[in-house]
Structure 1
Amino acid sequence: MKLLSKLLTVLMLVALASCGRGPSSGPAVMAGQGRGPQFGDTAPHPWVGGHPYDHLVHGIDISRYQGDIDWGRVRGSGVSFAFIKATEGGDHADPNFRRYWYEAAQARIPRGAYHYFYFCRSGAEQAAWFIANVPRERGAMPPVVDLEWTPSKTCPRRPPSDEVLREARIFKDILHRHYGQRPIIYTTVDFYRDNNLASWSEEFWLRSVAGHPRLVYPGQRYTFWQYTGTGVVPGIRGNVDLNVFAGSPAQWRKWLNLRLQ
């Protein structure tokens, strides 16, 4: 009986060790625990109200800080889409945008370009700058306007909400006419609340790294959810932003087919 008791104890400890994953146990396995993509996170979060790992369609958003990317490994890891930074304000272009744009296409990863909106330039100026740098290309996902309060020393102003919404609306309307697709709105919790973005009937990509969007943005519909900035993806050195599509793989294919025409 003592031998049997010791054996059961050992088996229980092994089982507990294999299940224990937390901030102190290294990168966490993500995205469905074997049912979907397998990524890591250098600072995993104890999620409440819903878990991003339950989603099967995951993607990345990147800028020049990701450096050289092995897109074959990225695609093989289960990445289903990539949003690539193209422009910022009215005079800055990401130096890696063109290369990433081409390489992602070669790896057959659906990709879209995003613009970091500044509040010291008009919406029309910024739209012209984005159009000058991002090709109008069949098969690209909709463009994205990144709306958040900028920490830039060159543009510290926080204009009133009516000005923010007016200039952002001008920007996205110009892009809609040029690219033939309504831009997606990326935003953060504070910016969303400060500017009453709930009043916009647009397609949203929501940042929420400490709680499920249904809790952080009550009642807001969204297509994409950015759930961490400390993700680990094979083929990319260092941390990278990870996102999910808010739907099943079948819904993802339908969404793509409607937009990659």
Structure 2
Amino acid sequence: MQQGSGGLVELLLGADDFYDLLSTIQYLDVIQAKNTDALNELVAMENELTQARIALDAQQQEAEEEEQRAEDALAEAEEARGELEAKIAAQAAAEEAQRRAALEAAQRALEEAQKAAAEAEQKAAETEGSQTETTVENPTFTTESGSEAPVEVPESPDAGNVDWSSDKQAFVSEWSARIDAYLAGSPLAGQGATFAEAAWEFGVDPRFSPAISTVESSTGRVCFRPHNAWGWGSSSWGSWEEAIWAHVEGLAIGYGGQLTYACAQKYCPPNADHWYSSVLANMEMI
């Protein structure tokens, strides 16, 4: 108990006896202890409140910073997406321009060959005094493997899309028949199912590999290595089945599995224009 000197004297004088004084002092000590406990509890609660307020302020600041980071990330993502879309659009436009230029170049080459044949026929007629028929031969180009292939012009600038919505059985059945009809009479005859199954497995246009075989080797008639109908360097295989699966897989891995002008530039750098046009023309035949 803490008391001033005046308060203690008043307690002594006001007490009836010693026991009364002792009881009063004990009572005051209890009251003071309770007050002290209440005060300490209040101080503790105030400290807790202060710490909670500090923590809440920190959490709020962190939340605001996180929100700002999320907004910044979203803005960066939208900017990156816009740049990517613009890049894709520019690449698509460039691809389309190159593709059309390739087809126009093939058409010009064919028209020039026809014109040259007509002029030769007229010159021969004038020289010999009679009408002489001159055979118009398609112009040729050299492939990357060194073979000579005729320049062919497709009837349409687009071969159309392949329908991948069917199941494997229906897909293979449809394309096997179409490819077999295209390959009839060639060394690759009867391999339609092999081409179709490999195309399904690797997600490659089923017309792509057969068409390349015609451009590069007259559909397997002129192979500089065993079963290599696609002008692939020094590669050779033990069977058409093995060769077809390897080539279709290679088209998927290295060329995107679809005919594009970029693919033509990679497959036949010396004459990408004529290669693209000729492969497309053959794809449209399937």
> Is the pair's TM-score, using the shorter chain for normalization, greater than 0.5?
no
**Which structure is larger by alpha-carbon Rg, 1 or 2?**
2
Tell me which protein shows more helix as a share of its residues. 2
| TM-score, with structure 2 as normaliser | 0.26
Tell me which protein shows more strand as a share of its residues. 1
